């Protein structure tokens, strides 16, 4: 028994310490060093430096929503609601910790992130159990209503500051925290979609009836995906609140949910790499068009349409076939 366990541990260690994983680790370190050089040096303007944190937050939001929309195949428009729950929960805890406890700032912020994610996940369970019985447009409408209900409650409660907003949130968020959480999110969710549970979720997306016929509890796995996405949306919300140091209900309206969904669709449904790239592009694009004055939103919309048409065009297919453009990953729904 001991020998068998030892061999099993050895195999797992070999699967982790591979050349591919080593290269990925070196790339992660290299990207972090580049970001650190940009932030600490004079290589970029102050405005550009301020965009690195929003880029990271949008990456976490897009990758987490892709679990529900891309891999599970359920259209959810309530991601801003989970983000709001996480943001206010984490902000209230960090304010309390700073004023009434002697916790070090990094520990208080870390606990705030965990609390924000857990609170969002709890609401994910509460909402997911009844809502995930619906499909298609009905699910989208109900989740959209959930986000608006959350925003209305926050607007009404005194503890959240109401319509005036919640002020005095400690500004703990920086590029180091954001980059670390982006990497953790991508690693965890990438491994999740490749795991047995992730393959089951993909099989439900492809054919829920067939999955249920072989003994898969479809409702349980739908709730699992929904809760995981909600947790990371809550984490992104905590980063968002601590970065601004003020939260207002208007930050989490339905436009925010649609913005996150646009990133996921643009990057490719079921593509984590695509979500990362699309989050970077769509966060920077409005800033590059800021000098266009009144035509900024028009140019932004036209750019989105052109990119979407290109993604579904024969030109992209030919470039992928010729190897001049990286091919978007195609999911295989396999259950072992």
User: Domain residues of the chain, as ranges?
Assistant: 51-253
Q: Quote the pLDDT of residue 17.
A: 60
Residue 31 has pLDDT above 60, yes or no: yes
Q: Quote the pLDDT of residue 316.
A: 64
328 phi/psi in degrees, rounded to 5: -65, 135
Q: Quote the pLDDT of residue 103.
A: 86
Residue 34 binned pLDDT confidence (cut-offs 50, 70, 90): confident
Alpha carbons 223 and 129: distance in angstroms, whole number: 7
Alpha carbons 165 and 176: distance in angstroms, whole number: 27
Alpha carbons 322 and 318: distance in angstroms, whole number: 6
Question: Got the DSSP string for 50-69?
Answer: HTHHHHHHHHHHHHHHHIII
Question: How would you label 310-335 residue by residue, b for 16+ Cβ within 10 Å and e otherwise?
Answer: eeeeeeeeeeeeeeeeeeeeebebee
Q: Is 259 left (phi over 0), alpha (psi -120 to 50) or beta?
A: alpha
- The pTM score is 0.86
Min mean pLDDT across 58-67, 116-125, 162-171, 231-240 is at 162-171
Average pLDDT over residues 22-28: 81
**Total number of residues shown for the chain:** 336
| 259 burial via Cβ count (<10 Å: 0-12, 13-18, 19+) | middle
Strongest mean pLDDT among 16-25, 34-43, 293-302: 34-43
Residue 13 has pLDDT above 60, yes or no: no
Question: Got the DSSP string for 309-328?
Answer: HHHTSHHHHHHHHHTSSPPP
Of 271, 266, 197, 270, nearest to 227 (Cα)?
A: 197
71 touches 331 (CB < 8 A): yes
Alpha carbons 276 and 257: distance in angstroms, whole number: 17
Give the pLDDT confidence of 191-243 residue by residue, as tens digits.
999 889 989 998 888 888 888 888 888 888 999 999 999 999 999 999 999 99
Mean pLDDT of the chain: 83
Question: Got the DSSP string for 164-209?
Answer: G-B--------HHHHHHHHHHHHHHHHHHHHSHHHHHHHHHHH-HH
Average pLDDT over residues 85-106: 90
Q: Quote the pLDDT of residue 331.
A: 44
Min mean pLDDT across 6-20, 204-218, 303-317 is at 6-20
Q: Which residue has the tokens 């916790």?
A: 103
Q: Quote the pLDDT of residue 215.
A: 84
Largest CA distance in the chain: 71
């Amino acid at each position: 028994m001991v020998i068998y366990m030892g061999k099993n541990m050895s195999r797992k260690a070999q699967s982790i310490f591979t050349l591919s994983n080593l290269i990925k680790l070196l790339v992660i370190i290299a990207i972090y060093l580049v970001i650190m050089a940009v932030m600490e040096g004079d290589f970029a303007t102050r405005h550009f430096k301020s965009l690195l944190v929003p880029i990271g937050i949008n990456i976490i939001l897009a990758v987490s929503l892709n679990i529900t929309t891309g891999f599970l195949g359920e259209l959810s428009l309530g991601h801003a609601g989970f983000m709001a729950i996480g943001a206010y929960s984490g902000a209230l805890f960090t304010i309390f910790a700073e004023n009434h406890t002697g916790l070090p700032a990094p520990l208080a912020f870390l606990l705030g992130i965990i609390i924000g994610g857990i609170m969002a996940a709890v609401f994910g369970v509460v909402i997911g159990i009844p809502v995930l019985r619906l499909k298609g447009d009905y699910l989208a409408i109900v989740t959209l209503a959930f986000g608006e209900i959350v925003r209305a409650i926050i607007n009404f409660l005194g503890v959240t500051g109401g319509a005036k907003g919640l002020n005095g949130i400690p500004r703990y968020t920086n590029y180091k925290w954001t980059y670390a959480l982006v990497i953790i999110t991508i690693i965890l969710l990438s491994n999740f979609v490749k795991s047995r549970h992730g393959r089951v979720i993909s099989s439900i997306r492809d054919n829920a009836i067939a999955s249920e016929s072989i003994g898969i509890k479809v409702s349980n796995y739908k709730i699992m995906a929904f809760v995981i996405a909600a947790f990371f949306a809550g984490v992104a919300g905590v980063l968002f609140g601590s970065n601004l140091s003020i939260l207002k209900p208007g930050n989490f309206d339905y436009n925010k949910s649609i913005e996150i969904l646009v990133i996921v669709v643009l990057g490719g449904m079921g593509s984590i790499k695509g979500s990362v790239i699309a989050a970077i592009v769509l966060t920077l694009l409005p800033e590059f068009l800021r000098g266009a004055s009144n035509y900024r939103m028009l140019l932004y919309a036209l750019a989105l349409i052109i990119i979407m048409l290109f993604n579904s065009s024969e030109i992209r297919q030919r470039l992928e076939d010729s190897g001049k453009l990286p091919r978007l990953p195609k999911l295989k729904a396999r259950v072992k």
